[in-house]
Amino acid sequence: MLVVPILPHPPSATPAVLNILFEPSAALRSVVAAAAPPPEFATYAELVEWATARIADLPRDDPRLLDILSAHPRLGATAVDSAASRDEQASLRAGQADELRTLNELYERTFPGLRYVWVSVSHSTPARGAGGG
């Protein structure tokens, strides 16, 4: 069952909200906290765009970039931090988790420090929905 978190309005860049919109990441929270006071956001899309721009502003060799990317759980993993990821992992069909674990291992051997992630076009969350963000 999909768990739909209640997000405050107006949107704010608090750690709790960031943990819902992105995977929980101390590195992301530190990047956002180090930015000048965030503006007021009318939508969650604006907040996500602002936070993404703060990440894009980091130097390419900043180790926080890999920490932020690696916050996403491995596909097919059984232990995950966020409710959204638990729901995604639970929705895998029989055999998919094993195949994804194999792909994770291959990818991570080929690209050390990076996480194998794919975006499902049909996946949507309230934060990404119409007018939501």
In a domain, residue 3? The reply is: no
Whole-model pTM: value is 0.64
Is 1 inside a domain boundary?
no
Same-domain check for residues 56 and 79: no
Q: Do residues 27 and 52 share a domain?
A: yes
Helix (H, G, I), strand (E, B) or coil at 128: helix
Q: What pLDDT does 123 receive?
A: 45
Distance separating alpha carbons of residues 84 and 34, to the nearest angstrom: 26
* pLDDT confidence bin for 31, thresholds 50/70/90: very high
Same-domain status, 130 and 112 = no
Residues 42 and 85 in one domain: no
Q: Is residue 15 part of a domain?
A: yes
Number of structural domains in the chain: 2
b (16+ CB within 10 A) / e for 58-82: eeeeeebbebbbbbbbbbbeeebeb
pLDDT in tens, 49-75: 999 999 999 999 999 988 888 887 777
pLDDT, one tens digit per residue, over 91-105 is: 666 677 788 888 888
Domain of 102 in residue numbering reads as 73-116
Query: Looking at the structure, do residues 77 and 102 belong to the same domain, yes or no?
Result: yes
pLDDT of 3 reads: 55
Are 33 and 59 within one domain? yes
Are 77 and 65 contained in the same domain? no
Tell me the pLDDT band of 124, cut-offs 50, 70 and 90: very low
48 and 34 in a single domain? The answer is yes
